[in-house]
Structure 1
């Protein structure tokens, strides 16, 4: 599949205007089980897209969602991604550029032959999406095998920025930037935290960022990453952002190996 061009993106994406300039993050749990991760996500999204981020709550138990028992040890219940998105489609706030669910509850797509779970899905033009952090805390996505706190937070920032960017009309990228379409945690980990120059350019044109805006954005991102960094998890990104604040820090890479595209095999 050919990568989405800048012209294709600008024709498809919803315009950003004064009436719709907020990114809404909807939580299905109250209180949210991981306040530290949530704070990092909210700060990162605000700095990344340079738009206000507003949190709203809707208890999942009251939304009429299809559920099924949890799988592979990742919680007691799974929620239907289709039902979550249908609910969001009917409830997009009038001042929202888009609204995305962020939850620690595992999500699935109903139907025969579907995968065991789905980490995220968003609509390019209808202003809604959803993502689950449920399996990001594990080394692998088919059994519970806890990973480091830093890796978990990195995955949270990657997944949420990816799904929100879909709401801004960005399609999957052929590079290993964060807009690559990943099918496993192994591939997810192989992508960069930030976007490649092609995807950065789409956001810059859509959101009309000036050179000064780009510098302020990089400074804001560096500050967020430095503040949420456990140990030295984000040191390389912080250093690069502060060294060249006017440039994207991830270089395009055409070589996504077939191994990563397939993802890890489950044991027989």
Structure 2
């Protein structure tokens, strides 16, 4: 379900911001989490809430940026389109990867250090692009567990393959 857009002028009044080198205004992810948490409180049926923004993001003063960040405790996350200056197929793939990665965190899946997995961490475009669009077997098991074992893995993989094929990502669908 898509919720109404928070207008840019209202957003910047509610979050801490700073200027970013080359990307304009950056907004503090933890402030975004608070704002999204307030929105989530009004939607009791929501398990998670993900926010999208064109502003660049940073999680604390010492950090340069993050592509996205999730808060497991509150069930909210945010990701930014700001650093994606690429052609449409790559743009869509990068957005899907960050969105799925952050939602994975909301289902209590940490960064994967064992296999190539969508839950691998990334600090720049090359790492993000090298990350596959699928969960490794270990993290897929964690997702199934998060849903109380009520995920039909075969049906899930077939639905993902159909989605990727329909949206021009045949190579990902073949996996």
Common fold: TM-score over 0.5: yes
* 1:84–1:130 Cα contact (<8 Å) kept: yes
CA distance in 2, matches of 1:71, 1:228: 34
* 1:104–1:133 Cα contact (<8 Å) kept: yes
The residue that corresponds to 1:249 in the other structure is none
Alignment partner of 1:224 is 2:173: no
Shift of residue 70 of structure 1?
A: 4.6
Match of 1:173 among 81, 92, 112: 112
Alignment partner of 1:157 is 2:96: yes
- Deviating above 4 A after TM superposition, structure 1's stretches of 4 or more consecutive aligned residues are none
- Structure with the bigger RCO (C-alpha within 8 Å, sep 6+) is 1
Match of 1:198 among 131, 138, 152: 138
Query: Structure 1-normalised TM-score?
Result: 0.58
Shift of residue 97 of structure 1?
A: 0.7
* 1:124–1:170 Cα contact (<8 Å) kept: no
CA distance in 2, matches of 1:120, 1:239: 27
The residue that corresponds to 2:63 in the other structure is 114
CA distance in 2, matches of 1:126, 1:109: 16
Match of 1:105 among 26, 30, 55: 55
Helix, strand or coil at the partner of 1:107? strand
Shift of residue 104 of structure 1?
A: 2.4
Gaps spanning 5+ residues in structure 2: where? none
Gaps spanning 5+ residues in structure 1: where? 1-53, 138-146, 241-268
CA distance in 2, matches of 1:202, 1:67: 35
CA distance in 1, matches of 2:87, 2:77: 27
Cα deviation, 1:13-65, whole Å, max 9, x if unaligned, reads xxxxxxxxxxxxxxxxxxxxxxxxxxxxxxxxxxxxxxxxx111222422412
The residue that corresponds to 1:126 in the other structure is 74
Helix, strand or coil at the partner of 1:101? strand
Shift of residue 239 of structure 1?
A: 2.5
Alignment partner of 1:239 is 2:174: yes
Measured on the aligned residues, the alpha-carbon RMSD in Å equals: 1.8
Query: Structure 2-normalised TM-score?
Result: 0.86
Cα 1:110–1:123, aligned 2, differ >3 Å: closer, same or farther?
closer
CA distance in 1, matches of 2:154, 2:28: 40
